[in-house]
């Protein structure tokens, strides 16, 4: 209120000065608000309660004069308005009007087409001046420069919209920038080239194609070159391990077009796809060739049965599943398997074969490769390099957001129907036995106590106990039970106490209640857990947009665990469109050893993998397991990572001689999961069965070596907190876009305070992160734990709806859902990079954001590649062009300087080169730390 005391006697005040400056900026905008302020400038105080003329028009229904925004030294309502809904609304209306303008009735005369077209038309990464384009009239001079800088791009005729073919809405939303982004596309109309052209245009814009890259001291260049080679070497190692184990993007038969999902996904989402779906299932079950639209008689027997067995999402969970539909199962294929001396199952093409069908890296290979990664990641200059690149990526994103924030908001407002709540989100990391919230579990326990107190639920010490007796033995009645007595929240007392956290799985601190209610393998065969699981599934299906990947345990204690687990899932019909499973292997060898359950580590390997090889060889030998495995994505590995791992051995013994009471280290556990899974996947892929991936808990605490192990062998990880301490590995995770399912709320309770969580930093840097709830039972307060996770992150980190939708999109892409389902959720091309793969009506992520991410990544990879290919001996001086970076086939025809690598951009021209606006040479040549 101090401002009111300023005398308004016509003397210039700081306010007036500001007014004039800011009026100048908005000259020509023609905004009534601005004009209204200008006129009374000296006569009426701007703080005067009397409204200037123009303002009266702005008063909307029910708005009080005092609510009308006024301009102060620090606040300009006009500028503010340009950044908020009013314009976005205008924007939306315009975009709709443009749709109509094709028919001629609503054509709007605008100088450059409309501002929407003009702004959306340039690559997202060419972000300079984008915000200025948003001026409603589109007549700022800045808007035109980018056009002129592309000589081959024809000036856009104003009547473009009236004369062009009517665009279908979908098409327009999917590719709002199609017609003008890429010159090549506009001139010859081939979509295939568009992507490459865009890349080239971008690289040119970023100044990377200039000679600046190697324009530095030779010794620095050669040092950068050797760093890049080391990084490239790690990436090559990773690619070798991933492709060998069939964990790559195109390796899983489940992602093929013929893969049948049974029970099929619910109908509404699949309306258009019905014919295609029925066709593929017809093929899969070996029935007639035209099953889709024919009469019932032409449907196969199974087809007919299945089509009658439909259910509504959220109701009658499992009623659409009948094992009969899937019989008969395939038989033995004649291949064999055998565990070798070092504890790895090997597969052989036939009984006579002596050589394994696939050569799995030995444990020695593994540790040597791991050592190489660890050596590189602790090298000083390499660390500095990675650190600076990551900082650069973060800064680049900040700049991008600064300049595109408004445009992104406008883009997403143009999308009809879709918002954050109805984009698909996958909870990429949830433990099944903690998948319900506490209130839910409490309600369930109470209702069981009320309705079935005399049910026998436990056999202990030679006695059968009923539920009532169990509660009597712990001095509790149904009335006593509350969230507080249940005591399963882990908010306050579990920080850095993973041991205490594990105890939180016991309701009321009683392990027998955990056995009764939260175990699949107990006296009642996991019936209670199945019932509550169905209730959770029902909630998920009703929410429609939330999916989960539940972790269930296989301990490796006995050989029949897999069959029991599969029977639990199949017999209880726990099949849902919203649920897929991962198998978590707790690293508990030391516990079993101490209790005398086993002698050597080899028994764990055998118990975990033998049934899987048996069922792959002959599915009819474990029918339920075969069916269950179709919904299993892969392996997780869980336990307290912060436990000390003492290195007892210089060379680790193989499993059959690992008989000490010491638990093997993380790397050893992962190696045996990886190596056996590699053999298994080879076989499963060959038979057309779905393959499995490795997605362990990693980097939650403990040694950063765990992350190196994951970078070498794993599809993706959960947590990854410690990447913040290992810049090189973080950079590797970025370059290869390794998925990280993060759970800041869980970390907040266990290992790292929320405000220190690196999640937001990773996100800004462009790492492939998603949000997940980990243990809703212990951490969540609401009915929708995943939304709670997003909500808290949005509040703390101030995420916008575009950010949240991008995270949701990441989560779907990271998840192990079948490609056909991902296509339904994200759009038909979701496996393509950049905006080609982005269907905005489905993802609600603006194309410009997707393009920014892609181009940044490509650019980063390109910088590395070209440094790695740089041969200092051939560069006589810093500015000399290393000729070996040129792809030979373009050498003669390219108009670019010789050191410009063109393999990304066959169709582009030299004129596209522009001065760098983003990347200064300094950014590319970080001064190296003290080496
Ligand atoms: Zn977890």
Most confident of 458-472, 525-539, 636-650: 525-539
pTM: 0.72
Tell me the pLDDT tens digit for each residue of 611-652.
999 999 999 999 999 999 999 999 999 998 888 887 767 788
Distance CA 673, CA 680 (A): 10
The pLDDT value given to residue 412: 86
- Integer angstrom CA distances of residue 509 from 470, 476, 514, 543, 552: 13, 12, 9, 32, 21
The pLDDT value given to residue 327: 82
Give the mean model confidence (pLDDT) for residues 134-150: 37
Q: Write the CB contacts of 9 (distance below 8 Å, at least 6 apart in sequence).
A: none
Give the mean model confidence (pLDDT) for residues 36-56: 44
pLDDT confidence tier of residue 654, bands split at 50, 70 and 90: very high
Residue 579 pLDDT more than 80? yes
Yes or no: say if 906 and 199 are a contact pair by the CB < 8 Å rule. no
Instruction: Report CA(504)–ligand 1 centroid distance (Å).
Output: 14
Q: Write the CB contacts of 367 (distance below 8 Å, at least 6 apart in sequence).
A: 652, 667
- Integer angstrom CA distances of residue 126 from 173, 833, 852, 854, 855: 20, 18, 9, 13, 10
Q: Write the CB contacts of 20 (distance below 8 Å, at least 6 apart in sequence).
A: none
Distance CA 724, CA 896 (A): 39
The pLDDT value given to residue 647: 74
The pLDDT value given to residue 478: 79
Residue 115 pLDDT more than 80? no
Average pLDDT, the chain: 75
Distance CA 905, CA 701 (A): 43
Instruction: Report CA(742)–ligand 1 centroid distance (Å).
Output: 9
Span of 158-167, 303-312, 851-860 with lowest mean pLDDT: 158-167
- DSSP classification of residue 669: H
Instruction: Report CA(817)–ligand 1 centroid distance (Å).
Output: 19
Q: Write the CB contacts of 526 (distance below 8 Å, at least 6 apart in sequence).
A: 519, 520, 568, 572
Give the mean model confidence (pLDDT) for residues 718-729: 95
Distance CA 792, CA 596 (A): 45
Residue 885 pLDDT more than 60? no
Which residue shows structure tokens 């997605």?
695
CA angle, residues 772, 581, 283, in degrees to nearest 5? 125
Give the mean model confidence (pLDDT) for residues 228-244: 95
Instruction: Report CA(430)–ligand 1 centroid distance (Å).
Output: 6
The pLDDT value given to residue 304: 52
Higher-pLDDT residue of 80, 126 = 80
Give the mean model confidence (pLDDT) for residues 562-584: 94
Q: Which two tokens stand for residue 712?
A: 């070498």
- Integer angstrom CA distances of residue 50 from 11, 44, 64, 78, 237: 21, 8, 12, 18, 72
pLDDT > 90: percent of the chain? 47
Instruction: Report CA(345)–ligand 1 centroid distance (Å).
Output: 28
Residue 757 pLDDT more than 80? yes
Give the mean model confidence (pLDDT) for residues 391-420: 92
Q: Write the CB contacts of 788 (distance below 8 Å, at least 6 apart in sequence).
A: 745, 773, 780, 781, 782
Q: Which two tokens stand for residue 55?
A: 């303002």
Distance CA 132, CA 119 (A): 9
Instruction: Report CA(664)–ligand 1 centroid distance (Å).
Output: 20
Rounded to a whole number of angstroms, the CA Rg of the chain reads 31
Instruction: Report CA(616)–ligand 1 centroid distance (Å).
Output: 28
Residue 167 pLDDT more than 70? no
pLDDT > 70: percent of the chain? 67
Most confident of 76-90, 92-106, 224-238: 224-238
The pLDDT value given to residue 89: 65
- Integer angstrom CA distances of residue 339 from 342, 676, 833, 875, 924: 8, 9, 40, 53, 50
Higher-pLDDT residue of 407, 196 = 407
Instruction: Report CA(431)–ligand 1 centroid distance (Å).
Output: 6
The pLDDT value given to residue 626: 95
Nearest to 720 by CA among 689, 693, 751, 685: 751
Instruction: Report CA(429)–ligand 1 centroid distance (Å).
Output: 6
The pLDDT value given to residue 854: 96
Distance CA 323, CA 396 (A): 53
Instruction: Report CA(126)–ligand 1 centroid distance (Å).
Output: 40
Q: In what order do the strands lie in the sheet with 739-742?
A: 697-698, 716-719, 739-742, 769-771
pLDDT confidence tier of residue 98, bands split at 50, 70 and 90: low
Query: CB-based burial of residue 854 (10 Å sphere; 0-12 exposed, 13-18 middle, 19+ buried)?
Result: buried
Span of 80-84, 528-532, 601-605, 793-797 with lowest mean pLDDT: 80-84
Give the mean model confidence (pLDDT) for residues 301-322: 71
Instruction: Report CA(662)–ligand 1 centroid distance (Å).
Output: 23
Residue 155 pLDDT more than 60? no
Which are the catalytic amino acids?
Answer: 719
- Residue 740, beta-bridge partner list: 717, 769
Distance CA 585, CA 788 (A): 27
SS3 of residue 216 by DSSP: coil
Instruction: Report CA(64)–ligand 1 centroid distance (Å).
Output: 52
pLDDT confidence tier of residue 61, bands split at 50, 70 and 90: low
The pLDDT value given to residue 598: 92
Helices 847-869 and 191-205, interaxial angle, to 10°?
70
Nearest to 708 by CA among 234, 230, 228: 234
Instruction: Report CA(536)–ligand 1 centroid distance (Å).
Output: 18
């Amino acid at each position: 209120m101090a401002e009111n005391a300023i005398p308004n006697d016509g003397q210039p005040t700081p306010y007036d000065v500001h007014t004039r400056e800011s009026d100048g900026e908005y000259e020509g905008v023609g905004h009534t608000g601005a004009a209204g302020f200008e006129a009374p400038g000296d006569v009426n105080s701007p703080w005067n309660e009397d409204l200037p003329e123009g303002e009266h028009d702005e008063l909307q229904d029910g708005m009080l004069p005092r609510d009308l925004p006024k301009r102060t030294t620090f606040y300009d309502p006009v500028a503010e308005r340009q950044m908020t809904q009013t314009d976005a609304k205008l924007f939306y209306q315009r975009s709709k009007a443009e749709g109509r303008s094709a028919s001629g009735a609503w054509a709007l005369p605008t100088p450059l087409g409309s501002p929407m077209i003009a702004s959306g038309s340039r690559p997202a990464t060419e972000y300079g001046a984008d915000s200025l384009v948003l001026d409603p009239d589109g007549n700022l001079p800045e808007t035109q420069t980018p056009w002129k800088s592309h000589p081959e791009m024809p000036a856009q005729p104003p009547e473009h919209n009236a004369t062009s073919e009517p665009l279908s809405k979908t098409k327009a939303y999917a590719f709002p920038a199609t017609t003008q982004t890429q010159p090549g596309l506009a001139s010859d109309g081939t979509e295939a080239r568009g992507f490459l052209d865009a890349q080239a245009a971008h690289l040119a814009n970023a100044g990377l194609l200039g000679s600046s890259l190697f324009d530095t001291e030779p010794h620095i260049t050669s040092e950068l070159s050797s760093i890049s080679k080391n990084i490239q070497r790690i990436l090559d190692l990773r690619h070798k391990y991933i492709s060998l184990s069939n964990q790559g993007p195109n390796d899983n038969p489940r992602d093929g077009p013929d893969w049948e999902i049974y029970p099929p996904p619910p109908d509404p989402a699949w309306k258009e796809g019905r014919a295609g779906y029925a066709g593929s299932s017809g093929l899969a079950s070996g029935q007639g060739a035209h099953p889709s639209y024919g009469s019932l008689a032409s449907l196969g027997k199974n087809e007919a049965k299945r089509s009658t067995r439909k259910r509504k999402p959220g109701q009658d969970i499992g009623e659409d599943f009948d094992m009969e539909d899937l019989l008969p199962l395939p038989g033995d294929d004649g291949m064999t398997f055998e565990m070798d001396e070092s504890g790895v199952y090997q597969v052989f093409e036939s009984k006579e074969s002596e050589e394994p069908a696939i050569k799995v890296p030995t444990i020695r290979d593994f540790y040597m490769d791991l050592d190489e990664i660890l050596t590189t990641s602790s090298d000083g200059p390499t660390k500095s390099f990675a650190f600076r690149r990551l900082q650069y990526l973060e800064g680049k994103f900040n700049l991008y957001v600064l300049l595109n924030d408004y445009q992104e908001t406008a883009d997403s407002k143009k999308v009809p129907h879709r918002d954050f709540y109805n984009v698909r989100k996958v909870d990429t990391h949830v433990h099944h036995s903690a998948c319900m919230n506490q209130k839910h579990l409490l309600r369930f326990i109470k209702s069981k106590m009320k309705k079935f107190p005399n049910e026998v639920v436990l056999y202990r010490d030679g006695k059968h106990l009923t539920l009532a007796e169990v509660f009597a033995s712990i001095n509790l009645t149904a009335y006593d039970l509350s969230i507080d007595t249940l005591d399963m929240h882990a908010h306050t007392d579990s920080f850095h106490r993973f041991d205490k956290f594990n105890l939180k799985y016991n309701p009321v601190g009683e392990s027998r209640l955990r056995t009764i209610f939260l175990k699949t393998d107990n006296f009642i065969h996991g019936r209670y857990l199945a019932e509550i699981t169905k209730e959770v599934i029902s909630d998920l299906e009703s929410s429609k947009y939330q999916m989960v990947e539940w972790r269930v345990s296989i301990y490796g204690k006995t050989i029949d665990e897999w069959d029991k687990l599969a029977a639990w899932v199949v017999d209880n019909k726990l099949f849902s469109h919203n649920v897929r499973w991962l198998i978590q292997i707790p690293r508990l060898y030391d516990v079993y050893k101490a209790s005398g359950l086993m002698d050597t580590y080899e028994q764990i390997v055998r118990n975990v993998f033998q049934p899987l090889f048996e069922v792959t060889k002959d599915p009819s030998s474990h029918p339920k397991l075969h069916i269950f495995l179709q919904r299993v994505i892969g392996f997780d590995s869980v336990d307290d990572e912060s436990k000390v791992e003492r290195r007892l051995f210089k060379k680790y013994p193989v499993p059959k001689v690992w008989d000490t009471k010491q638990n093997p280290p993380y790397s050893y556990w992962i190696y045996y999961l990886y190596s056996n899974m590699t053999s298994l996947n080879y076989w499963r892929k060959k038979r057309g069965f779905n393959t499995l991936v490795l997605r362990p808990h990693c980097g939650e605490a403990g040694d950063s070596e765990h992350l190196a192990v994951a970078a070498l062998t794993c599809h993706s990880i959960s947590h990854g907190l410690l990447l913040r301490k290992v810049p090189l590995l973080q950079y590797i995770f970025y370059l290869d876009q390794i998925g990280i399912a993060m759970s800041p709320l869980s970390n907040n309770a266990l290992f790292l305070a929320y405000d220190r969580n690196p999640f937001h930093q990773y996100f800004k840097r462009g790492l492939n992160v998603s949000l997940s709830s980990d243990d809703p039972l212990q951490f969540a307060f609401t009915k929708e734990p995943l939304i709670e996770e997003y909500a808290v992150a949005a509040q703390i980190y101030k995420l916008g709806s575009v950010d949240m939708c991008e995270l949701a999109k990441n989560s779907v892409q990271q998840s192990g859902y079948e490609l056909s389902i991902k296509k339904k959720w994200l759009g038909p091309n979701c496996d393509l990079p950049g905006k080609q793969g982005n269907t905005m009506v489905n993802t609600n992520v603006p194309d410009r954001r997707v393009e920014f991410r892609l181009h940044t990544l490509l650019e980063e990879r390109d910088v590395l590649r070209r440094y790695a290919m740089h041969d200092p001996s051939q560069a006589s001086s810093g500015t000399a062009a290393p000729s070996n970076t040129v792809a030979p086939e373009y050498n003669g025809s390219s108009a670019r300087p010789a050191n410009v690598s063109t393999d990304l951009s066959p169709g582009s021209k030299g004129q596209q080169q522009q001065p760098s606006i983003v990347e200064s040479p300094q950014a590319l040549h970080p001064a190296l730390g003290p080496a």
